[in-house]
A = this chain, B = another copy of it.
Amino acid sequence: MKFGGTSMAGTERIRRVANIVRRHQEAGHEVAVVVSAMAGETDRLVNFCREANPLYDPAEYDVVVASGEQVTAGLLALTLQAMGCKARSWLGWQLPIHTDDAYAKARIGTIDADNLAASMAAGEIAVIPGFQGLSEANRITTLGRGGSDTSAVAVAAAVKADRCDIYTDVDGVYTTDPRIVAKAKKLKYVTYEEMLELASVGSKVLQTRSVSLAMKEGVRVQVLSSFIDDDAPLADTIPGTMIVSDEELEGLDMESQLITGIAADKNEAKVTLTRVADRPGAVAAIFGPLADANINVDMIIQNIAKDKGETDVTFTVTQADLVRAQALLEGRKDAIGYYRMLTDPKVAKISVVGVGMRSHAGVAADMFKALADRGINIQAISTSEIKVSVLIDADETELAVRVLHTAYGLDAAA
């Protein structure tokens, strides 16, 4: 079970968390709990580090910021004990959760789970601070912001858990953003790959890394709400959204669904470089410098060469990065060798996602037709095996999502 910062913000909320944990233990489960720091605490600690040293040493930064989860882990163990449960905390260095030496953005290697498993088998609830591990140099590491989801999946894999329940402030994964489409439906199951495509394009429920890790390790992850009453059903009844493998989904023999969800990301800006030479190294000359400048590029679209061995290259960056990207490419115009740079600071990426499209033709065509019928112009198209994404004018985001949600038959019954 994993609880985020909002659920851990203060002793009263920790008591609610402890109660959920206790009920699951009483239902016969061996339970390990991964916790975040109290909401706001990590920001407070990060701010201290910035004040102390703007160019901070990430190893010392990790010493400071890892303390937030240490506090909540101890407090949850104490609260469980006050309820009569056996419980103890296991800090990252105690298990240990081995990571590489990339302080502040470490990646988990192995977890020594023998002591942990023995303690759990003896009826002790294990409370584990998320976000932290131990480097090869025997120092504290942290996994980067939002890393507690990844900690939870890694611990679940290490103890071979039946399930990793991630309690969040939403009650599951929806077919699209319910704030845009009131008839959005909560999905009972979604595959790892669908979740990855949905997460990276805007349905920000879980840290992407945690989903990748769950897919790699075959950990069944449930997303569910931490705002539940004392008599709410246990997580065993899958009240949230269960993230599983393709195989498990097929085995469930559910009514096949062509499209699982529709994601929108309004925070995009589009850049097109026209008449780029179609030669080896041309695109590297564009994207290498952007990467060096830490500008994250999302979609990249390059069509086949037209006349004279030239092609247009289109890509998107976040709106915040557009000015920097423009300046950087302007300065390298001759090195790259393009004719003009066209930019649009306000586009949206709309994606339809579903493993069903692997075996069905026509998904993309349906999308283009539905948008065209409402007069929404498609500026660029990109597809993967289980996703079709288009760029449109950002002002038309909500309209496009609603149109597609209806077109693919995702609207919940009234």
Residues of chain A having any CB pair with chain B under 8 Å = 11, 14-15, 45, 48-49, 51-57, 59-64, 66-68, 70-71, 73-79, 81-82, 88-89, 91, 93-94, 138-140
When the two chains form their complex, are residues B59 and A75 in contact, meaning their CB atoms are under 8 A apart? no
Q: Is the CB–CB distance between B78 and A53 below 8 Å?
A: yes
Given that A82-B52, A138-B94 are contacting pairs, would A64 and B74 also be in contact in the complex, using a CB cutoff of 8 Å? yes
Residues A53 and B79 in contact, CB atoms below 8 Å apart:
yes
- In the assembly, what is the distance between CA of A310 and CA of B59, in Å? 69
Assembly CA distance A63 to B45 (angstroms): 18
* A11-B48, A49-B78, A52-B78 given; A59·B71 CB < 8 A: no
Which chain B positions have C-beta within 8 A of A56? 78, 81
Q: Is the CB of A77 within 8 A of B94?
A: no
> Min CB distance, A125 to chain B, in Å?
12
A61 and B48 form a contact (CB under 8 A)? no
Residue of B whose beta carbon sits closest to that of A14: B52
A62: B residues at CB distance < 8 A:
74
Question: Could you show 15 A-B contacts with beta carbons less than 8 Å apart?
Answer: A45-B71, A49-B74, A49-B78, A56-B81, A57-B77, A57-B78, A60-B77, A60-B88, A63-B73, A63-B91, A64-B74, A67-B67, A67-B68, A93-B93, A94-B138
Cβ-closest 6 pairs across A and B: A63-B74, A64-B74, A11-B51, A53-B82, A67-B67, A53-B78
Please give me the residue from chain B that is nearest to A12 by CB atom. Answer: B51
Select A48's contact among B52, B64, B75, beta carbons within 8 Å. Answer: B75
User: For residue A57, which residues in chain B have a CB less than 8 angstroms away from its CB?
Assistant: 77-78, 81
Copies per assembly: 2
User: Interface SS of chain A: helix, strand, loop or mixed?
Assistant: helix
What separation, in Å, do the CA atoms of A64 and B61 have in the docked complex?
19
A81 vs B53: C-alpha distance when bound (angstroms) = 8
* Complex contact B79–A52 (CB within 8 A): yes
Tell which of B45, B61, B73, B75 touches A49, judged by Cβ atoms closer than 8 Å.
B75
Q: Tell me, rounded to whole Å, the shortest Cβ–Cβ distance linking A131 to chain B.
A: 14
Report whether A70 and B63 are in contact in the complex, using a CB–CB cutoff of 8 Å: yes
| CB–CB A52/B67 < 8 A | no
Most chain B CB atoms below 10 A, which of A63, A77, A88, A138:
A63
Please indicate the chain B residues that have their CB under 8 angstroms from the CB of A82 in the complex: 52-55
Docked Cα-Cα span, A70 to B141, in Å, equals 14
Chain B residues whose CB sits within 8 angstroms of the CB of A60 once the complex forms: 74-75, 77-78, 81, 88-89
Nearest CB in chain B to that of A89: its residue: B63
Give every chain B residue within 8 A of A78 (Cβ-Cβ): 49, 52-53, 56-57, 60-61, 64
